[in-house]
Structures are given as structure tokens and as C-alpha cells.
Structure 1
Amino acid sequence: MSALARYQPLYTVNDYMQWKGDWELWAGHPVSMSPSPFGRHQAILTKIASLLVNAVENANCAATVIAEIDWVVDPTTVVRPDVLVVCGESPERHVEQAPALTVEVISATSIERDRIYKRELYRDKGVGNYLIVDHEKRTIILHRQSNRWAEETIEQILDLTICEDCRLSIDLSRIFQ
């Protein structure tokens, strides 16, 4: 066994906060973020964020929609979802509570991360709802916390309850137009 294989340092959020560039920290291991997403990815992300902001405002919810912000999951894990919704006001620095809704727009370089690692992380850390948007296949999958982590395909209307009593109904069919 090489010295490199035996020495695999684990990092903390404090280490992470000192790094330059775009990184996530998964259970103490640094993970380089993909290069800046292409225009179509960002356009879909913007549409989703806009639809969520409008839905939260129309429902008069005590919730905040935020794009591209760090969620400090625990002392050794930091992820940066594409969009998330937190109950209450926007945090001063980064999110420290489990989001009510997390959205990832997958790309060729993030499919495995988003569909496997982040899905399991979000389930295990109490994210209420996890939306995976695949712009190539034009599909939207919702993972919802209930008695278990339930998966459903969203064809058009996304109905969900966040932050205990905030009911949202969002027409997601427009995001691929």
C-alpha cells in the first residue's frame, strides 16, 4: 500500500471555509465542483427559482428561496445545492438547518453525485423535499419525506407542503420551454 493510500486526511467546515475555488465537503473529503454550468442549466435553474419565489410569495409563506448557497450539514459536510428553500428568513452567512426543499439541476458531470450521493445525504439529514431536474431527458423527479423517502415523477404540477403549513402548487411544465 502506498503512503498516499494510507494518508487520506479528513477536513472540517473550518478548513473548508479557507479554501479558494468551488468545492463541497463530503464527510470530511473535498469534492471539486464541476466547472461553471452551461447556459441551459442556468436558465432552468433561474426559472425554477423564479417559480418558487412566486409560489412562496403567493402562499404568504414564512420561507426563503436561495440559489447557490452553502448548506453546512455537519462539522465535516458542506454542500451547495442549485436552489433551496428554508423556513424563515434568509441566513446571514450559510444555511445550517435542513432545507424544506432542495433542487438540483443535473448535468453530465453531476448525475451520479445528485442521483445517488446527494439523494441519500438529503434523505438522511432531514430535507423535506428533493427535486432532481434533468434537462437532457426533460424529467423532474421529486423525493418527498413521508413515512419513507418516496419518489414520484412530476409531469406538470408540483403540489407540496413546506415549513409545516405552507402549501405550494407550482406548474413546472414551463421550465423546459
Structure 2
Amino acid sequence: MITSLDQLDLSKQYTYADYLKWRFQERVELIRGRIFKMSPAPARKHQAISRYITSQMVKYFENQPCEWYYAPFDVRLPRKTSKADKQVYTVVQPDICVICDKTKLDKRGCVGAPDLIIEILSPGNSKKEMKDKFEVYEEAGVREYWIVQSTYNNVLVYTLNEQGIFIGHRPFIEDEIMHSFIFPELKVDLREVFKD
């Protein structure tokens, strides 16, 4: 049994089957088999942004067939059609995710691409969210990806086109009411998101 992150070889590739055996305090994600340590508890601003966006999710999805979750919540992204634990090399914990296909949900989280993923950038995680996760979310078929940049008070939104490529939209800035492209009635007042 692995009880300390120090017991792992960070240059090695791991699977979800390995991940399930780990019993240490640190939260980690696997991206293409590589271990990424998660930042310590998010800053207050990160939490405030997450809380406000979550409140909008509650209102919008109350009578919708989709379900939404916030971290920590495991999302497993298989590379192939097999969902076997030993063949899943990517396990992430998005800040917020929405899943409309309930067959993707099981007792351990989600297996397969959520429809919408929202990540809130914090110092130290920008590269992971903007490159590593961007690539695996695109590859897995996440239909819409929001990157909330609290440093710049804006939200970058990417939607998947018919060729499976993320297309970026004009950034939504701090004094606007933004909307989802796949859920057009889901609106978020960025004046409230970035008020602190």
C-alpha cells in the first residue's frame, strides 16, 4: 500500500488502478499517466469564484436532466473504448463539471467526457489547466471548457467543433454577463464573479 507520495516514482506512468491504491494525504491528478500534485487549499478568491458559479449551476440545472459536480470529484478520461481501471491514464478533478449522459456516472465519479468543464486558475496551476488539461479535455471530447482567469478578471471559453478541435471564443470580461454556448440559457454575471 502506498501511504506517501514520496514512495512513487514521478517519472513513471500510472493508471487509475494504481491511483485507487494510494492512501496519502496529498490530492493528485493523473494526466496521461503522469502525476500532477494539486495545489494546497485554494485561495479565498478562488473559493469565492467557485461558490458564485456553483450558485448559478444550482439555479440553471435544477430542472434540467444534467448533473453537475465540484471538486473533489474524479473524472476518468479513457484513451480508448475500454473503461477498465488499468487502462485509464487520466483522472482529473475539475473545479466544476456538468454531465448530461448519466450512463457516464458511477459510484466513483464520472467515466468519460463531461459536457462542460470549468477550471479556475490559481497561481501555479495555469500551465496544467491551459495546456495539459486543455489537450486531454479536447481529446476526450469535452463539449465546452471554461478557463476562469481571476488574475485578469476574464473567462476563456472553448467549444468542440465537428472535427473534435477546441475553438476559442472572444473572452468574456469582468463587466459582462457571460453565457454557455452549449447551454445558452446558463448565464453568469462576471461583475459578481470578480467583485472581490
Same fold (TM over 0.5): yes
Runs of at least 5 residues in structure 1 that lack an aligned partner in the other structure: 1-6
Offset at residue 88 of structure 1 (A)? 4.7
TM-score by length of 1: 0.86
Match in the other structure for 1:83: 96
Match in the other structure for 2:137: 122
**Range with bigger deviation, 150-159 or 114-123:** 150-159
Structure 2: distance between partners of 1:175 and 1:8:
38
- CA gap 1:92/1:36 in 2 versus in 1, 3 angstroms: same
Choose the corresponding residue for 2:15, options 12, 22, 30. Answer: 12
Task: Specify the code of the residue in structure 2 equivalent to 1:18.
Answer: K
1:119-160 deviation per Cα after TM superposition (whole angstroms, max 9, x unaligned): 111111100100000111101010011234111112422142
Structure 1: distance between partners of 2:120 and 2:172:
14
Match in the other structure for 2:70: 67
**Range with bigger deviation, 147-156 or 102-111:** 147-156
Structure 1: distance between partners of 2:161 and 2:56:
24
Offset at residue 61 of structure 1 (A)? 1.6
Q: Percent identity?
A: 27
Task: Specify the code of the residue in structure 1 equivalent to 2:181.
Answer: L
Name the structure with the higher strand share.
1
Task: Specify the code of the residue in structure 1 equivalent to 2:167.
Answer: A
| Secondary structure of 1:103 counterpart | strand
Runs of at least 5 residues in structure 2 that lack an aligned partner in the other structure: 1-9, 79-87
TM-score by length of 2: 0.78
Choose the corresponding residue for 1:26, options 31, 36, 41. Answer: 31
Match in the other structure for 1:149: 166
| Secondary structure of 2:138 counterpart | helix
**Root-mean-square deviation over aligned CA pairs:** 1.8
